[in-house]
């Protein structure tokens, strides 16, 4: 296992977590004014659009992609040609992708934000349990932060508890960067400040334990932190 320590890149992002710049499509200049961009794409199509927009821009700005290589061989991580065709573009964030859950936001009790690979692990766990009251949204562009998208999804699932889920320890990953910006987005744009409940590994000096049994326990703790304890199977 390896980590690119992208929390260190996030620490150096030149962005005020308590200020929301203009966010409309025609006036948004977040990337022009930032020192660099950090993305973690969860679909091949979004990765394609990320690289395409980088090439076609009329300005240059460093791009840091932190997507893990194991998504290259994950069978569920696929896109159609239509997702890359005419009229499509890069998505800074994805709403819940299950139509049933997405179309019934009032029934959602937990709204989970995450980024990258953990989305597919949460999705598999949700399907295994048959949950329909947990919505999973992914941040594809972590920095500059998509304040408008975060506020939009929190407003849509207004009855839900807000959760940030990650695989990394609490002092790593995107949590420290995302948490204050989620509060700013919901406070300034929705007039209803929300704080993320953290779900992930405990603070650590190393990005991974290196011990299989402990790794599996940490993984189960993350799943239970999002979905609750697994129901006991009766004989």
Task: Summarize pLDDT for 45-99 with one digit per residue, the tens.
Answer: 999 999 999 999 999 999 999 988 888 889 999 999 999 999 999 999 999 999 9
- Asked whether the predicted pLDDT for residue 3 surpasses 90, the reply is no
Instruction: Output the pLDDT for position 2.
Output: 57
Q: Predicted confidence band at 208 (pLDDT cuts at 50, 70, 90)?
A: confident
Confidence (pTM):
0.93
pLDDT tens for each residue of 146-170:
999 999 999 999 999 999 999 999 9
25 vs 208: which has the higher pLDDT: 25
Nearest Cα to Cα of residue 141 among 30, 24, 5, 22: 30
Instruction: Output the pLDDT for position 72.
Output: 87
pLDDT tens for each residue of 157-206:
999 999 999 999 999 999 999 999 999 999 999 999 999 999 999 998 88
Q: What is the average pLDDT value for the chain, to the nearest integer? A: 93
Residues composing the chain: 235
Instruction: Output the pLDDT for position 1.
Output: 42
Instruction: Output the pLDDT for position 235.
Output: 56
Nearest Cα to Cα of residue 171 among 198, 141, 193: 198
pLDDT tens for each residue of 99-148:
999 999 999 999 999 999 999 999 999 999 999 999 999 999 999 999 99
Which whole number is the average pLDDT over 207-227?
Answer: 89
- Asked whether the predicted pLDDT for residue 234 surpasses 70, the reply is no
3-state helix vs strand vs coil in the chain, percent to 5: 40, 15, 45
């Amino acid at each position: 296992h390896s980590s690119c320590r992208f929390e260190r890149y996030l620490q150096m992002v030149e962005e005020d977590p308590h200020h929301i710049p203009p966010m409309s499509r025609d006036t948004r200049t977040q990337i022009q004014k930032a020192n660099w961009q950090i993305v973690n794409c969860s679909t091949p199509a979004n990765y394609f659009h990320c690289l395409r927009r980088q090439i076609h821009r009329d300005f240059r700005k460093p791009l840091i992609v932190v997507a893990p290589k194991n998504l290259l061989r994950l069978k569920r991580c696929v896109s159609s040609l239509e997702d890359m065709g005419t009229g499509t573009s890069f998505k800074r964030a994805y709403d819940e992708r299950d139509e049933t859950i997405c179309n019934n936001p009032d029934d959602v009790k937990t709204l989970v934000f995450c980024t990258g690979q953990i989305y597919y692990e949460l999705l598999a766990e949700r399907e295994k349990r048959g949950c329909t009251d947990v919505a999973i949204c992914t941040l594809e562009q972590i920095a500059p932060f998509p304040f408008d998208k975060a506020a939009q999804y929190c407003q849509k699932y207004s009855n839900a508890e807000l959760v940030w889920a990650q695989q990394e320890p609490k002092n790593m990953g995107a949590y420290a960067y995302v948490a204050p910006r989620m509060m700013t987005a919901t406070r300034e744009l929705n007039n209803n400040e929300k704080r993320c409940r953290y779900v992930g590994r405990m603070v650590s000096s190393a990005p991974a334990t290196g011990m299989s049994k402990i790794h599996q326990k940490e993984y189960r703790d993350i799943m239970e932190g999002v979905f609750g304890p697994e129901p006991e199977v009766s004989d």
